[in-house]
Homo-oligomer: A and B are copies of this chain.
Amino acid sequence: MIRFFNGRVLTLDGGYDITDSEVWTDGAQIRYVGPERADAPVFEREIDLRGDLLMPGFKNAHAHSAMTFVRSFADDLPLQRWLFDKIFPLEAKLTPEDVYDQTKLAILEYLAGGITAAFDMYYKREAFAQASVECGFRMVLNGALSAGDDFSVADADCEKFNAMDPLISYIPGIHAEYTASTELLAYMKGLIDRTRKPFFTHNSETKSETEECVQRHGLTPTALHEEYGLFEYGGGGFHCVHLSDADMEIFRRRGLYAVLCPASNAKLASGIAPVAAMERAGLNLAIGTDGASSNNALNMFREMYLVSVLQKLRESDAASGDAARVLGMACSGGAGAMGLNAECIAPGKLADLIVIDLHRPNMYPRHNIVKNLVYSGSNTNVRLTMVGGKVLYEDGQYFVGEDPEEICRRAQRSAERLTRE
């Protein structure tokens, strides 16, 4: 067992209060949250928080981790040109070794920023899952089927990855309506019914994508997927920038998660998701970084800030985009979307925890720590990142099974090879 003591704790268990509790973890789970106890066991390690903040880790609820290989390579293009002219042709060259190396690079960045799990949609899933397990990082894989693919892979993947390792799980999905076929959608309905799993996909990321879907099918992407019965067991959509009121009603009724990706949507000029309207409609919300090619950082502090201030801009209302609720989306909301028992700090929950350094200048004064986290917090404040009860990052040092500099060097070589003419 590991003991965190002498600090402050933001449990996110039903609110945003910060207490002076201590927290014990036992294996991969949280065992105890509360005051110091006389009957404490002998601990494997006692971590002195020195007045800093223990809180649930950030969940990156939409990622293409291995896309680090095209960070700062194909910027400043509209989404459809960026995707079809630049990204898809390069992705066709990816080997499993590339995905392995690039995924490990992304995990280093996640850990340094307090991200304890990612909901990842990408290819070469064996290599991806291997890299994650080797690092000790938690990943939820999401299907990314398109019309030309061998659909049966999804059935096999769903079974394989949900049995593979406690750190790995799999949720079915397709890349997006605009790369799908009616055959694929029908196949997905069968998979959903067989597995009783939620369904996730890129949804209404751009205006044109949404309009073209309506032209093709007479339905928005959300309504089309609902028509096919894909949300029978929940799920949601990534981006959701251009949801209609009727789409939001489907989301609300089904308890679906809209996963916001504000940085990516801004950088690709896709727009600002209607977060205030989503909140009024009672939608479940989570936050993702998207891939490093369209962001280009994998940094939840940036995303939280953007969710809040972009909503203030969109609504012309400085009171919109409440910081506490945004913090909830980044932690609890993400856990909900990803099906992780890690939405708060409480006994029995996963020990996916981070320690925030409250002694850096950007955290002073401490009028409101939650607002400080969202409005002035940054990766410099991440002192420690624990996944499944194991410390993977602490005081700038990584504990991921191999030298982080070697991971960076391999990722550099892989990226150079992939992007060479």
Contacts and interface: CB of A to CB of B under 8 A. Distances in A.
Contacts of A34: none
A406 to B, nearest CB: 12
Given A263-B309, A312-B269, A372-B72, A79 B318 contact: yes
A405 B72 contact: no
A366 interface: yes
Contacts of A404: 361
Interface in A360-376: 360-362, 364-369, 371-372, 375-376
Contacts of A372: 71-72, 296
Main secondary structure of the interface of A (DSSP, over half): helix
Nearest to A268: B318
Interface stretch (A120-128, A243-251, A411-419): A411-419
A286 to B, nearest CB: 21
Given A295-B375, A379-B380, A318 B82 contact: yes
Contacts of A267: 308-309, 312, 318, 375
Contact of A269 (B295, B297, B315): B315
Nearest to A267: B309
Interface string A43-81: 000000000000000000000000011111101111100
A193 to B, nearest CB: 39
Interface stretch (A136-144, A145-153, A230-238, A298-306): A298-306
Interface in A122-177: none
